[in-house]
Amino acid sequence: MQTKKTDKAIRTAQYKSTFLTPTEFMARKGKTVYISKEFHQKLNLLVFMLGGSKLTLADYLQNTSASF
């Protein structure tokens, strides 16, 4: 049981360090990407809930894209 909790904690920490870390990227220096309003709202909510006020949607997308 303890191992499962430890594994989950490790995976959560890895996810946060990979995807929920603010970057130096400035959205206005990038390219425009068009997504639906609904998808934008969902992503903004996800970023807000997981990253708080320290993370922007551009940071999350930059981190996600860099992982590929």
The string of pLDDT tens digits covering residues 50-60 is 888 889 999 99
Query: What is the DSSP secondary-structure string of 41-62?
Result: HHHHHHHHHHHGGG--HHHHHH
Give the pLDDT score at 4.
78
What φ, ψ does residue 30 adopt, rounded to 5°?
Answer: -100, -155
Alpha-carbon distance of 17 to 15, in angstroms, equals 6
Rounded to 10 deg, the angle between the 37-51 and 57-66 helix axes is 90
pLDDT surpassing 70 at residue 1: no
Contacts by residues 42-47 (CB-CB < 8 Å, ≥ 24 positions apart): none
Convert the pLDDT of each residue in 5-56 to its tens digit: 889 999 989 988 898 888 888 888 888 889 999 999 999 999 999 888 889 9
